[in-house]
Amino acid sequence: MSSGRCAACRYLRRRCTQDCFLSPYFPSNNPQRFASVHRIYGASNVTKLLQRLPTHLRSEAADSLYFEAQCRLEDPVYGCVGLIFLLQQQIHSAESQLIKTQAEIAVMKSQTQHPQTQPFRAISGSNNLLLQQSDNDANLIFSNQVSSGFI
Amino acid sequence: MGSGSSPCASCKLLRRRCAKDCIFAPYFPSDDPHKFAIVHKVFGASNVSKMLQELPVQQRADAVSSLVYEANARVRDPVYGCVGAISYLQNQVSQLQMQLAVAQTEILCIQMQHHQEDSALALPTQMQHHDDDDYKPFLLPTTHNLDNISQYINFASSSNVIQDPAATVKRESLWT
């Protein structure tokens, strides 16, 4: 029954049996899914990869393979690794911003507690201004920078 | 690299003659057989060959590095591969953005407190000379201004990249 073929068997132009291994993960209503995965990994590799897994994990594995295949098709040089580096960059940037902001808070709080030592001055976000404050708390925060550290 | 010297790791694994123009030879030297083995296991030699052929020569080294990276990730985590790392990192980004938002809110609160204190100390006649619209966010003693804080909060660069796999990331070479 050609109309009942899964996306994999339709793409590979073969008969789709009742116990077709790939049909649960590549339904006929999404031909693009198998096309992408096949283009990057190949049907036999995908089958081998999924066969090595317990049945209850195969669906998620197929999803992740599809995602990575799509990333690779969009970016043939870096694939999903490009996303990893972008996220690492975002983490580094957010950490730096957080450290800076926490230092500003420390300075502002110390000025609130000891207003006689220094008049309040709105923090512009400039690093130079923070360094001129020579606040011990700010120095501690800067010296305790957390590195992003890839897993 | 193939002629006259030992075959590259790919040709050695595939048990074939390593031609002078072997597409794998520059990227899979014979002294690192594991590198090609893992890429072949996940992607297959013919798929890798096709992918490299579709790329300009100057981009192939980076492509091989990223393929090796992905293949390693898939072998380490056969269910999620790189997607596991992406989810983890995305989580970290979200958490940091939340912490940053909290910290920035705290700064705004402290600034508002200072301004309120300053305005409380100022002579009442001075306040009448200013346009209320300029000082509105800071002069009001109530907590209504807290509702407008979100407009002042600058979030880090966009998150949720993972939800759009179509996003293309252009990168300089990262492995040199």
Rounded to two decimals, the ipTM of the complex is 0.70
- For chain A, the farthest-separated pair of C-alpha atoms sits apart, in whole angstroms, at 87
A149–B contact, CB cutoff 8 A: no
Report pLDDT for A112: 75
SS3 content of chain A, % helix, strand, coil (to 5): 65, 0, 35
How long is chain A?
A: 151
The pLDDT, as a whole number, for residue A3 is 58
Report the alpha-carbon angle A87-B166-A147, nearest 5: 5
Q: From chain A, pick out residues whose CB is under 8 angstroms from the CB of B67.
A: 79
Look at residue A4 in the predicted model and tell me its pLDDT.
84
Decide which of B143 and A84 is more confident.
A84
Domain boundaries, chain B: 9-76, 82-175
Classify the phi-psi angles of B4: left when phi > 0, otherwise alpha if psi is within -120 to 50, otherwise beta. left
* pLDDT attached to residue B117: 79
Q: What pLDDT score was predicted for residue A41?
A: 96
Across the interface, whether the CB atoms of B110 and A82 are under 8 A apart is answered no
The reply to whether A76 touches chain B by the CB within 8 Å rule is yes
Least confident of A67-76, A128-137, B30-39, B85-94: A128-137
Question: Per the structure block, which two tokens stand in for B103?
Answer: 């910290």
Whether B139 shows a pLDDT value over 60: the answer reads no
Considering CB atoms only, which of B59, B79, B99 is closest to A64?
B79
- Dihedral sign computed on CA atoms, order B19, B24, B28, B34: negative
The whole-chain average pLDDT of chain B stands at 77
pLDDT over 70 at B146, yes or no: no
- Inspect the interface and report whether the beta carbons of B66 and A64 lie closer than 8 Å: no
- Least-confidence region, from A70-84, B62-76, B157-171: B157-171
Q: Using CA atoms, how far apart are residues A149 and B85, in angstroms rounded to an integer?
A: 12
Q: Pick the closest to residue A98 from B165, B73, B92 (CA basis).
A: B92
Chain A residue closest to B117 (CA)?
Answer: A112
A27 Cβ contact list (under 8 Å, min separation 6) = A6, A7
- How many residue pairs from chains A and B have C-beta atoms closer than 8 A? 155
Alpha-carbon Rg for chain A in angstroms: 27
Interchain CB distance below 8 Å, A97 and B156: yes
Per-residue pLDDT of chain A (151 residues; tens, 9 = 90+): 445 899 999 999 999 999 999 999 999 999 999 999 999 999 999 999 999 999 999 999 999 999 999 999 999 999 999 999 999 999 999 999 999 999 999 998 888 777 655 555 544 444 443 333 334 433 333 333 333 434 4
Q: Is B111 close to A104, i.e. CB distance below 8 A?
A: no
User: In 10 A of CB A42, how many CB atoms?
Assistant: 16
- d(C-alpha B90, C-alpha A64), whole Å: 15
pLDDT of residue A150: 40
Site of tokens 């317990």: A54
* Nearest residue to B86 via CA among B155, B169, B173: B169
Average pLDDT value for residue range B94-110: 94
Dihedral of alpha carbons B57, B61, B67, B70, sign? negative
- Is pLDDT of B14 > 50? yes
